[in-house]
Chain A
Amino acid sequence: MSGRLVQRPGAPAGLVIRGARVLDPAAGIDHVGDLVIRDGRLGGRPDGLEVIDGTGKVVVPGLVDVHVHLRVPGREEAEDIATGTRAAAAGGFVTVLAMPNTEPVVDSAAILGSLLETGEREAAVRVGFYAAITTGQQGEGLTEHGDLADSGAVGLSDDGRPVTSARVMLRALQYQRAAGLPLVLHEEDPTLSGRGVMHEGAISTRLGLEGIPSVSESVQVARDCALAAYEDARIHICHVSAAETVEELRLAKARGVRVTAEVSPHHLCLTDAAVEPEVDPARFKMNPPLREPSDREALIAALVDGTIDCVATDHAPHAAQLKDAPFEEAPFGVIGLETAFASCFTHLVLPGLVPLEVLVRRMSSDPAVCLGIPVPTLADGAVADLALIDLEAVERVGEHPFHSKSTNCAFTGEELRGRVLLTVANGQVAHRRTA
């Protein structure tokens, strides 16, 4: 009854990566040496295999993103499964989990089945699919959680909007005992977030934009932690943005609530100050919004101490014409798969805020553990799931075209360090940087 992950079939990789730092903090591996990939598995004899020079580079377990939007069905002009997973491979990801807020919503086994079929034909890396918690994500009737579990859903989420009714949430948590799927929660009290478009604070005040208060997130997280505790259910909190939410998570974990949480690279690296001087401020518009420096500091501290379990991109492609609009009219969301590692490495590891070993864990093994999917490892004999990264290489974001169909990236124009040279996903070469 565990979630299905699918990928386009391909030839098993056969490579030797020579002289790289091999770093898998979760498995206790950290040494410089040769890594052999034979028949898509780690280990074996190196003879006859192509050799890649890994000197000065680092090999890490393939990255895992438990929160992406691939826009299929319905918004294929912004992204599809082929381009979204190609972008994932370019970012060093070996597994991505796609949200169900599509058009139509993934709320039946039939739609889920068709996505899995498409994934088997098109996906460059493993892809799994969430199904909606409520029919049409309307927040009222539950979808067929049992059927969806049997059909291969990796979890349930109404991401994009909250489950507003506490009663409906309680029922979903109760029914988890029958269906067994993790509930992945977009947390927001819509009576507080209202028509807000950015973080409520000095900058929204100066710009005259309607604010989304931090407490609109934290009160909902507090509510759902209380409900999960009451039902002894398992929940995962999406894209934490506010210091107040970190505090709620800390308290909930301390009293034994079965809750995990993710944070996005943009919330870790940027603040609402980015919105103000911009010609194209809509590329910094996402929900939850970028918040204040004190929030960012709290998120980083929580990622380091494990209060927040993992990084997830919330990769949210939008067609260019939708973002070239006044801030209030533009849709929420930014792409992130191709810049995730480099943005976090540049903004968090280089300034000494997060150790590289912690970042690698939070982007590879830890997210997989949160959602109960296979954990990538560099242990001998394992299926090859890895990324080879040049930590010295600098690149201006947007200089090379994105593999994603969309370009709504908050890091465009920034010089980021850390370039993914090679991604091997589930034993197949999914990305290889040539230039």
Chain B
Amino acid sequence: MKRRSLIAITDLDRADVARILRTANRFSEVMGRDIKKVPTLRGRTVVNLFLEASTRTSTSFELAAKRLSADVVSIKGSGSSLEKGESLKDTVLTLEAYGPDVFVMRHPHVGACRIAAKHTQAAVVNAGDGKGEHPTQALLDLYTVEREVGPIDGLHVAFVGDVLHSRVARSGIAGFRMMGADVSVVAPPTLVPRDLEDALGASVSADIRDIADADVVYVLRMQMERMGRGGHVPSLREYAARFGVSHERLRPGQRVMHAGPMNRGVEITSALADDPQALIERQAANGLVVRMAVLYDLLAGPEDAPAAREALASVTAA
């Protein structure tokens, strides 16, 4: 039987997201215990196929699978057969022979997970595909806001900076909008993709003062490595001066997020990054339980009800 996949945040609906966040909540209780491992996915196989550099996402997925007692194989881009010219299809077909239950996949190109999903019976979880999507980041951001700020419905979230190159923004804007938030974008016009308002339903401004109304200010990394020569802004100095997020530009009570890695002193001041007003460390910590919840959701529920009950019981019993 072909398993469900999580490739774009819009593969989920509002109820799916709520369910995954509830499951993450349960796992977070487990993480408070001395023994942080549950037998939920014993005997399942998770293949982490990371064909683009990643530290935090790959670590967090690997640990999530291990905490659920799954067997985990991690394959990184360097040394894999893809560098010998093997196609993505053949790599997936080869790994498919080992009967994996989940492929967690990062790839430098948009849509690679959909190609992989065509050729496997396993669930495919998109851990970032080029400039496309990063749905588990969106889920952990929603989870973080719900826990630290409150219900998402009716909140105002402002994404600031390099939307053009950001899969975090693409999944995040769609995810926050789906859960009922108002979303705006504040960025230099050269870093806003065309027709963004039509495409994702976020209002757009080029004036940093427009973050004033936001409950949450989501700071995006300047992806200099994707900008090439010439750049998209005159200089990082001017960018920091006009769009950098700092204490001076915030009012008390506004919370700040960043998916990392940060360019301190560019899109965010170092002082703000380390301030409790920022949720950045919470995001990293929450990534683990949210990814556990995603693996659980795809492998143990919800349509496989008896298995789901049994698995949840094992969480409670552990």
Contacts and interface: CB of A to CB of B under 8 A. Distances in A.
Given A206-B199, A327-B109, A328-B130, A279 B87 contact: no
Given A201-B195, A209-B110, A326-B130, 18 more contacts: A200-B194, A203-B199, A205-B193, A205-B195, A205-B199, A206-B199, A208-B133, A209-B131, A211-B193, A324-B89, A325-B88, A326-B107, A326-B109, A326-B110, A326-B115, A327-B110, A327-B111, A328-B130
B112 interface: yes
A207 B112 CA distance: 12
A208 B167 contact: yes
A213 B110 CA distance: 19
Nearest to B169: A208
Interface string B102-126: 0000010111101100100000000
Given A207-B110, A211-B194, A326-B110, A202 B199 contact: yes
A208 B115 contact: no
Nearest to B198: A202
A325 B87 CA distance: 8
Contact of B200 (A205, A211, A321, A326): A205
Contacts of B89: 321, 324-325
Interface string A182-213: 00000000000000000011111111111101
B196 interface: yes
16 contacts: A200-B194, A205-B199, A207-B110, A207-B132, A208-B129, A208-B133, A208-B170, A209-B110, A211-B193, A281-B111, A321-B89, A325-B87, A325-B88, A326-B111, A327-B109, A328-B130
Interface string B60-92: 000000000000000000000000000111000
Contacts of B110: 207-209, 326-328
Contacts of A202: 194-196, 198-199
A206 B167 CA distance: 10
A329 interface: yes
Interface in A301-360: 321, 324-329
Contact of A201 (B111, B118, B194, B200): B194
Contacts of A206: 170, 199-200
Interface of A: 200-211, 213, 279, 281, 321, 324-329
A213 B193 CA distance: 11
B193 A204 contact: yes
Nearest to B118: A279
Nearest to B134: A208
Which 4 pairs across A and B sit closest by C-beta, in order of nearness?
A208-B131, A326-B109, A205-B193, A202-B195
Contacts of B114: 279
B227 to A, nearest CB: 12
A424 B89 CA distance: 43
Nearest to B133: A208
Contact of A208 (B132, B194, B198): B132
Residue of B88, B130, B133 with most partner-chain A CB within 10 A? B130
Interface of B: 87-89, 107, 109-112, 114-115, 118, 129-133, 167, 170, 193-196, 198-200
B117 to A, nearest CB: 9
A328 B109 contact: yes
Nearest to B166: A208
B121 to A, nearest CB: 16
Contacts of A211: 193-194
A208 B130 contact: yes
A332 to B, nearest CB: 15
Nearest to A328: B109
A324 B109 contact: no
A205 B131 CA distance: 10
Contacts of A329: 109
Nearest to A209: B110
A205 B174 CA distance: 12
A209 B199 CA distance: 13
Contacts of B170: 206, 208
A208 B118 CA distance: 20
Contacts of B109: 326-329
Contacts of A324: 87, 89, 115
A205 B191 CA distance: 12
A211 B200 CA distance: 16
Contacts of B131: 208-210
Contacts of A208: 110, 129-133, 167, 170
B88 A326 contact: yes
A328 B112 CA distance: 9
Nearest to A201: B195
A272 to B, nearest CB: 11
A326 B195 contact: no
A192 to B, nearest CB: 13
Given A279-B118, A325-B87, A325-B88, A205 B196 contact: yes
Contacts of B196: 202, 205
A321 B199 contact: no
Contacts of B198: 202
B53 to A, nearest CB: 17
Given A205-B199, A207-B110, A321 B87 contact: yes
A207 B7 CA distance: 12
A328 B109 CA distance: 6
Residue of A200, A205, A210 with most partner-chain B CB within 10 A? A205
A324 B112 CA distance: 10
B193 to A, nearest CB: 4
A206 B200 CA distance: 7
Nearest to B112: A326
A181 to B, nearest CB: 37
Contacts of B133: 208
Residue of B111, B196, B200 with most partner-chain A CB within 10 A? B111
Contacts of A279: 114, 118
Contacts of B118: 279
A130 B185 CA distance: 49
Contacts of A210: 131
A203 B112 CA distance: 17
A329 B131 CA distance: 14
B175 to A, nearest CB: 13
Residue of A200, A202, A279 with most partner-chain B CB within 10 A? A202
Contacts of B130: 208, 326, 328
Nearest to A275: B111
Contacts of B132: 207-209
A279 B196 CA distance: 24
A201 B170 CA distance: 15
A271 to B, nearest CB: 14
B4 to A, nearest CB: 15
A207 to B, nearest CB: 6
